[in-house]
Copies of this chain bind each other. A is one copy, B any other.
Amino acid sequence: MQLGQVQQAAVACFARQGYTATGIRELGAAVGLNSATLYHYVGGKQELLLGIIRDCLSAMLDGARNAISRTQDPARQLAALVAFHVSFTAVNPLTAQVATGEMRALSDPAPMQALRDEYEALFAAALADGERAGIFTAPDPGLARLAIMEMGTGVGRWYRADGRLPLPEVQLHFIAMAMRILGAPETPLSPHELPTAQRVASEGER
């Protein structure tokens, strides 16, 4: 029995029926443990949710920072961020959904909201750098950032590994659409430059 298995069961339940409707007994049953043993392993439901959201946001932050570390060019940084965001959401749709949708179920959401803000600030910084350099010409950079992030988040709702397009092609299309929104020239990354997100511990097999 590993923590990852409990997190997977929890994410599946939270994504399907919500945090509030999921009982600690139900989670125990899903991984073959009684409530007392489960409590010993992970603490209560609240600690479990906090761990899932923290692991998710940490992986997003690490991945995004790594993605932009390879270049100083704002357009290539933004392209890498978009590609990473799409990849993370495609590979971890349930965890990403829970991390967003159940944030308010945390008794103290502020520290997790701060991580989320840090992640969004990476996009805002690349965007501001590109605006300053005259590469990006979005009439409203704030709205452009929201639109670009939300369209990437949406990938989790429709992407299937066996779907029409392989993930690298989806990433390239989303980079192209983001650059169009920003009024920037095409900035494709070559296949080996495309960031790839790993499946986090809380995401089950699909």
Which residues of chain A have a CB within 8 Å of any CB of chain B? 16-21, 101, 104, 139-140, 142-144, 146-151, 153-155, 157-158, 164-165, 170, 173-174, 176-177, 180-181, 183
Contacts and interface: CB of A to CB of B under 8 A. Distances in A.
Task: Give how many copies assemble into the complex.
Answer: 2
A183 B179 CA distance: 11
A17 B153 CA distance: 21
Contacts of A151: 146-148, 150-151, 154
Contacts of A150: 150-151, 153-155, 157
Contact of A21 (B17, B146, B153, B154): B17
A146 B164 CA distance: 14
A168 B164 CA distance: 36
Contacts of A144: 177
A29 B153 CA distance: 36
A21 B22 CA distance: 8
A87 B173 CA distance: 27
A165 B181 CA distance: 19
A104 B144 CA distance: 31
A23 to B, nearest CB: 10
Contacts of A142: 164
21 contacts: A17-B18, A17-B20, A17-B21, A18-B20, A18-B21, A20-B21, A139-B173, A140-B165, A142-B164, A143-B170, A146-B151, A146-B154, A146-B158, A147-B177, A148-B151, A150-B150, A150-B153, A150-B155, A150-B157, A151-B154, A180-B180
A149 to B, nearest CB: 8
Contacts of A139: 173, 176
Contacts of A104: 16
Nearest to A180: B180
A109 to B, nearest CB: 14
Given A139-B176, A154-B154, 8 more contacts: A17-B20, A18-B18, A18-B20, A20-B21, A150-B153, A150-B154, A150-B157, A180-B181
